[in-house]
Amino acid sequence: MGGYDEGEVFRGLAAEQWAASSVTDARLDAPLYREVIREQGGRALELGCGAGRLLLTFLGEGLEVEGCDISADMLAMCRRQAAVAGLTPPLYEQAMQDLDVPGKFRTIYIPCGSFVCVMDRQEALETLRRCREHLEPGGVLVFNVFPVPVNYTEPPADDFPTPWQTGTGTVLPDGRRLQVSSRWTALDRVEQTWHEERRYDLYDGASLIRTEIRAGQGRWYFRNELLWMLQLAGFAAADVTTTGDLTIRAMNR
């Protein structure tokens, strides 16, 4: 993928925005991952832990969770927020396809659809292999991906980049405000990839004091595609369960 840097979109002002929004996030995915960690017991590892949205929540509840992320800026935010909460989580700065941390885990989970950030298919497969290698016997890997709203019956659009779409603003702890906008810069239906830019405008009152534009990419996966990848990575087909939502009830159907 031409030396694509998966961490680029999570540095600088992006890390500050994620850290601030992680405090107020509704954590709709927390019940799923919490229940798996509790059922499994023992150590858990969150890949793509970011600023600690789930990691710090689970640690505060007494669960044994460690974190790994590709972005040093995000991990710095995580450590800062952990210190405020009186927590000292083990954190590792690694890309998930390079996962190599001490020991093995009862649970490894990848929230927020972060698996799609690994652009190279072989590296995505390597991510699954390394997760399996880091699991104890009987351990569980759990992660979610998301569909991209692409209509394959329509002619491909070539009017990229798309117009900037403004999202919700985020107030930082010091009172300054971050306004985030995003746009797609390319879409490849055959390769199942999208390319995007995110613009971070930092305001002090009404004054714009700084702007950063960060590039990101993603690759979407279909269900059966992932099932084949999991089998190639060494997971037994009979042990793999899929669901269309984020509830433990659905996983048990």
Using CA of residue 98, residue 103, residue 106, residue 111, what is the dihedral sign?
negative
Per the document, the length of the chain is 253
Residue type, 239: D
Please, which residues have CB within 8 angstroms of residue 139's CB and are 6 or more apart in sequence?
40, 104, 105, 106, 107, 108
Q: According to the model, what pLDDT value does residue 81 have? A: 95
- Going by pLDDT thresholds of 50, 70 and 90, the confidence category of residue 1 is very low
Q: According to the model, what pLDDT value does residue 147 have? A: 80
Q: According to the model, what pLDDT value does residue 253 have? A: 39
pTM above 0.85, yes or no: yes
pLDDT tens for each residue of 110-156: 999 999 999 999 999 999 999 999 999 999 999 999 888 888 888 77
pLDDT tens for each residue of 192-229: 999 999 999 999 999 999 999 999 999 999 999 999 99
Give me the long-range contacts of 170-173 (CB less than 8 A, separation at least 24): 170/17, 170/20, 170/21, 171/20, 172/16, 172/20, 173/20
Structure tokens at 251: 């996983």
- Going by pLDDT thresholds of 50, 70 and 90, the confidence category of residue 251 is low
pLDDT at 96 over 60: yes
pLDDT tens for each residue of 32-89: 999 999 999 999 999 999 999 999 999 999 999 999 999 999 999 999 999 999 999 9
* Coil, helix or strand at residue 156: coil
* Coil, helix or strand at residue 221: coil
Q: According to the model, what pLDDT value does residue 4 have? A: 64
CATH number, domain 8-146+222-251, options 3.40.50.980, 3.40.190.10, 3.40.50.150, 1.10.3720.10: 3.40.50.150
Select the highest-mean-pLDDT range: 3-7, 147-151, 166-170, 196-200. Answer: 196-200
Query: Mind spelling out the 3-state secondary structure of 82-136?
Result: HHHCCCCCCEEECCHHHCCCCCCEEEEEECCCHHHHCCCHHHHHHHHHHHHHCEE
Q: Please give the average per-residue pLDDT across 167-178, as a whole number.
A: 94
Residue type, 54: L
What whole-number distance in Å separates Cα of residue 214 and Cα of residue 8? 6
Please, which residues have CB within 8 angstroms of residue 140's CB and are 6 or more apart in sequence?
36, 40, 106, 107, 108
Q: Please give the average per-residue pLDDT across 7-23, as a whole number.
A: 92
